[in-house]
Amino acid sequence: MKIFHVHTFRCHHAEPVPDEAYILKAAELGAEEIWFTDHAPFPGDPFGARMSIDTLPEYLSTLSDLKRKHPEIAVHIGLETEYFPHFDNCGYYDHLRSLPELEFLLLGQHMAQTGDSPPAYSFSESPEYLAKNEFRLLGNAIVQGAESGYFDAIAHPDRIFRRCVTHWNEDMAEVSQSIINAAVSAGIPLEMNLSSARVPAYYRREFWQLLPDNADTIM
Ligand SMILES: [Zn+2]
Ligand SMILES: [Zn+2]
């Protein structure tokens, strides 16, 4: 067993427990590997619910120390982050990929960039607008992210439909297909997120039914 997609206290939506507690629990459960993917910061800390940019060196060094301290389980160090063209242009993803401790970048597209100078983001749009358009904005950003080559896996792709109260339709199928095609072309897996499966709006069986045999998944 491998434990994947673990957040820490640094992004403010995990329990306030030390990183080592996750490692000890994973080892106790018999896991061979644990993959930390806390929410990546961005320069200037423009977004909430993620570690601050100043915390990143501590995250990497703490987990590197724990990796050495616990050879009984393989501790892997990753980050979950959105793809934003603005931060790509600034070289931020290149910077992240150059960090020697960082092994894994998980593409978790919780919002999308919607404008350039200054950059604007989908969370500024109205709920009515997002109900109609968010899945397409997020889906397009996931495709761009997959094509960028920076990412090793795509987190919870079906969560882009969280605001779609309608029945599954052709537009949703088309966006799903473009994400699946991008993942297959990039050779990266799509994450079937088990905590999403507990929230009806976050988990779309119809998305997963579109998956061809040559698509990789991770749970
Ligand atoms: Zn996550
Ligand atoms: Zn996420």
Predicted confidence pLDDT, tens digits, the chain (219 residues): 999 999 999 998 888 999 999 999 999 999 999 999 999 999 999 998 899 999 999 999 999 999 999 999 999 999 999 999 999 999 999 999 999 999 999 999 999 999 998 999 999 999 999 999 999 999 999 999 999 999 999 999 999 999 998 789 999 999 999 999 999 999 999 999 998 889 888 899 999 999 999 999 999
Q: Which fold has domain 116-219?
A: TIM Barrel (3.20.20)
Question: How far apart, in whole angstroms, are the C-alpha atoms of residue 99 and residue 182?
Answer: 26
The residue extents of the domains of the chain are: 1-81, 116-219
Distance from Cα 109 to the centre of ligand 2, integer Å = 7
Are 1-81 and 116-219 the same fold in CATH? yes
Tokens linked to 104: 């894994």
Distance from residue 7's CA to the centre of ligand 2 (Å): 9
Identify which of 217, 97, 214 has the alpha carbon closest to the alpha carbon of residue 148.
Answer: 97
For the chain, the C-alpha Rg in angstroms (whole number) is 17
**Ligand 2 centroid to residue 168 C-alpha, Å:** 22
| Spatial distance between the Cα atoms of 170 and 185, rounded to a whole number of angstroms | 22
Whole-angstrom distance, CA of residue 50 vs CA of residue 29: 27
Tracing tokens 């761009």 back to the chain, one arrives at: 144
* Residue 129 CA, ligand 1 centroid: distance in Å: 25
Tell me which fold the domain 1-81 belongs to. TIM Barrel (3.20.20)
Query: How far, CA to CA in Å, does 23 sit from each of 11, 49, 74?
Result: 18, 23, 9
For residue 27, how many C-alpha atoms fall within 13 Å in the half-sphere facing its CB?
A: 15
The CB density around residue 97, as the number of other CB atoms within 10 Å, is 12
What's the CA-to-centroid distance between 198 and ligand 2, angstroms?
A: 14
Query: What is the Å distance from ligand 1's center to 15 Cα?
Result: 13
From the CA of 37, how far away is ligand 1's center (Å)?
7
Q: Which ligand is nearest to the CA of 159?
A: 2
Amino acid at 205: R
Q: Which residues surround ligand 2, an ion (CB under 5 A)?
A: 108, 155
